[in-house]
Structure 1
Amino acid sequence: MHPKPLYVEALIRTDLDALWQHTQDPALHRRWDLRFTDIAPLTAGRFRYATKVLGLRVTGLGTHSGERFRPDGTRTSVLRFASTDPLSLIRAGSGFWRYTPTDDGIRFITGFDYDTRWGRFGTLADVAFRPIFGWMTAWSFDRLRIWLETGTPPERQSPLAPSAARCRRSRPTGRHGAAPRALAALERP
């Protein structure tokens, strides 16, 4: 049985354009997202990412596409990612970001899933890794929220300031939790 996809949702009291910029600009994105130490654009819609795990650098490639203006006022961004790095537990995956304006701010959502490598060992390792990866995503979303709501950059925040507990981690029913149709058409890295 395949594990549940990851889901994180945060309410961020900011302008939609500011949130879009902080999530779509690789130089800003890598500052708040604990999961990455580097995100480098390659060609239009393609990027390279890296992270350090136990002092080792793990790399991968990704493709992305964003819909900046939708008739209902929301925005979406979809991505696919993959790694041929033998150190990477994650072989390939895909996900989305959804930005939904509300009266209280922007409802910022991600949903993503991935396949592992290393056979049965990878499947077992993912039992421990997946909750940690979900926690890292939620902690990072709250770190971004603090940055945009207070102006305190991630580098100046105490590691105890962001809290994964402030984010919703279970997918609701309905379209807000479902992947956008654009994800099916996005090319693989």
Structure 2
Amino acid sequence: MTEPIYVETHVRAPLDRVWELTQDTELHPRWDARFSRITPVEELAGGGYRFRYELRLPLHTLAGTGTSLGERHRPDGTRTSALRFTTPDRLSPLGPGRGYWRYVPTADGVTFVTGYDYAPGWGSVLDRLVLRHVVGWLTAWSFDRLRIWAETGTEPERWPLASVLAVWRPDRPRASRCRRAPGARRRPRTDPAPSVMDDAPATLDQLEAP
């Protein structure tokens, strides 16, 4: 059984700024290398919206649809965003999936977390051995590019994906700055190990299918 993807970073910037950079569909693809374009399609009756997404590759453009629902005001001061996505593209390594973002205010910024899972598009063996590691790394690298933008104002276009080769630049985005597994929690030995998706907000189950 494959583990869902988990990435966590700490951003020393105001919560509203992190929310803006991640929720605005024009700003989001600028830092997130998993997307080239996100286009809202319609509002959902139960809240949130439906969107189309694209990822432009050298020889092909992957495309799909998704739904998203954000919680900006919660009693504990945190914020969340739930997501479901799918694609009819047989060339996509990611099939249907679901996930979430959590925004946890701290004394000096925001802890920004994602957890998500998907059905493998290219088979479970290749996904487990290669693709899931690549997707997780790309998510973490994108999160660090977001952090740099929010903290310093350096626009993400300054750091294209090829900048991973600029090893002489300590200020470049680095996936290794992000945590890739949740912190350990005490639990009775008889309890099963928690899943990343156990921490998903309730809105994920309420969200319409893409």
Q: 1:164 aligns with which of 170, 175, 183?
A: 175
1:126 aligns with 127
Tell me the equivalent position of 1:142. 144
Q: Give distance in 2, aligned partners of 1:140 and 1:10.
A: 10
State the shift of 1:54 in Å.
Answer: 4.7
Report deviation, 1:87.
1.2
Report the alpha carbon displacement of residue 91 of structure 1 after superposing the two structures with TM: 1.8
Aligned to 1:98: 102
What does 1:65-104 align with in structure 2 at a 5 Å threshold? Answer: 65-104=69-108
Aligned position for 2:46: none
Partner Cα distance (1:111, 1:171) in 2: 10
- 1:42-64 deviation digits (Å, cap 9, x = unpaired): 11210111113453111110001
Q: What code does the residue aligned with 1:102 have?
A: T
Rg (Cα) greater in structure = 2
Q: Which residue of 2 aligns with 1:16?
A: 15
Secondary structure in 2 matching 1:143? helix
CA distance in structure 2 between the partners assigned to 1:141 and 1:50 by the alignment: 19
Q: 2: distance between equivalents of 1:16 and 1:24?
A: 12
Which residue does the alignment assign to 1:41? 40
Query: SS in structure 2 opposite 1:10?
Result: strand
Structure 2 unmatched ranges of 5 or more: 44-48, 165-171, 186-193
1:182: which partner in 2? 203
Count of residues in correspondence between the two structures: 184
Q: RMSD across aligned C-alpha pairs, in angstroms?
A: 1.6
Distance in 2 separating the partners of 1:4 and 1:132: 14
Q: Which amino acid aligns with 1:69?
A: H
Partner letter of residue 76 of structure 1? Answer: T
Q: SS of 2:205's equivalent?
A: helix
Taking structure 2 as the reference length, the TM-score comes to 0.83
Q: Which stretches in structure 1 are left out of the alignment for 5+ residues?
A: none
Letter in 2 for 1:25: D
Normalised TM-score (structure 1): 0.92
Shift of the alpha carbon at 1:13? Answer: 0.5
Identity between Structure 1 and Structure 2 (%): 51
> Amino acid of the residue matched to residue 99 of structure 1?
Y
Greater mean alpha carbon deviation, residues 177-186 or residues 15-24 = 177-186
Question: What residue in structure 1 maps to residue 189 of structure 2?
Answer: none
Report the CA distance between 1:157 and its aligned residue.
Answer: 3.1
